[in-house]
Amino acid sequence: MPDAVELIRAKRDGRTLTGAEISWLIGAYTAGLVADEQMSAMAMAIYFRSLDPAELRAWTAAMVSSGERLDLSGLPVPTVDKHSTGGVGDKVSLILAPLVASCGAAVPQLSGRGLGHTGGTLDKLESIPGWRASLSGAEMMTVLAGTGCVICAAGPGLAPADRKLYALRDVTGTVESIPLIASSIMSKKIAEGTAALVLDVKVGSGAFMRDITDARRLAETMVALGGEQGVRTTALLTAMDEPLGRAVGNGVEVAEAVAALRGDGPPDLVEVTLALAREMLLLAGIDADPAAALADGRAMDRYRAMIAAQGGDPDAPLPEAARVQTVTAPASGWLHRLDARAVGVAAWRLGAGRARKEDPVSAAAGIICLAKPGEQVERGQPVLELRADAADRFGRAREALADSIEIADGPPELGPRVLARIGL
């Protein structure tokens, strides 16, 4: 039987771990036989030494095998899901799941909560009165079979090794390791049981991956892992230098997603959503036009059915913040830059995000981008609307926004939102 300290030393010193060693380590850690401090040391060793393709394949397979794997084969339509690596204003899932379902696929979207400057899909949907994120396996299947889509929290039985390891990485400075990111994301998605998966890998100041070379490497790594585990997987690299859409927060993003489902969404949000929808339908083998489903109301009907099936009232008013302030343009001209990370941090400080997983979030707090790059503004014109439940939230939010706005005399050159496609 291997020894945890022996394996830590081996990886620290650059030796390749065998599949049997990795399988034992993950199994023993899940069972509580390997201590958190030992797995923290292993994570740091991996951060510096990385995992080669065979090690990463074994590591991911062991994470999947640490718990149950859902069986969606009984559904009468193809299954396909999407995962985003996280950004600012990224409410795509709220639109995408019902949109793709309305085109004939089943979308089992197991989502997470926000941490730091990036928002979480579950936090956003919990702004809707009555809506439930936690569903039993039977409830999840009932919603999925009845509406074609479900957005809910992953149950404790799915990839429990990842649940433990993720918490360690967050507090030990090892989050940025590409092998650990890739295995974390893909172990949950493989265990989810979907037949196909599209990855939205964000790139830019507001993304986890700021450099396109790192983003491409992460995308290629995850696409390969999906294929090796029998999940048809592709990835789109999408820009995240400015917030996606105009709303950043929880309730405000739900409102913007509903506007998009009504056919009145911001162009950048609609562009990214339709690109991902087309990719999902391609992988699912479905010949359908998602733009038509958005325009004729089918996607909205699915959204309303999904929200109701999870206990929510799609007609209930969303929470409104008690206090509002604005940030104005420091000069007249063209807005060249609205830094996504700064806006995300400011929204977090207003109460929309959390520093620790157990922290509460405000459903009403957030930011509305009244102007976006490429638009003209006048000095003193409101550019950002800040929303919070308490007045003492605004000071630190404004500090985060101090250098976030750049204005110039001429219009900027705006690049595409979809930067590259990785995969089949």
Q: Which residues are catalytic?
A: 83, 162, 169, 184, 188
Pairing of strands 382-388, 366-369: antiparallel
Pairing of strands 366-369, 418-422: unpaired
Cα–chain-centroid distance for residue 338? 21
- Short-list 128, 91, 93, 97, CA closest to 313: 128
CA end-to-end span of the chain? 40
Q: How many Cβ atoms from other residues are within 10 Å of residue 155's Cβ?
A: 17
Pairing of strands 333-338, 376-377: antiparallel
Strands (E), 244-400: 247-249, 323-328, 333-338, 366-369, 376-377, 382-388
Q: Are 235 and 199 in contact (CB under 8 A)?
A: yes
Distance CA 318, CA 311 (A): 15
Starting at the edge strand found earlier in the chain, the sheet holding 382-388 runs 247-249, 366-369, 382-388, 323-328
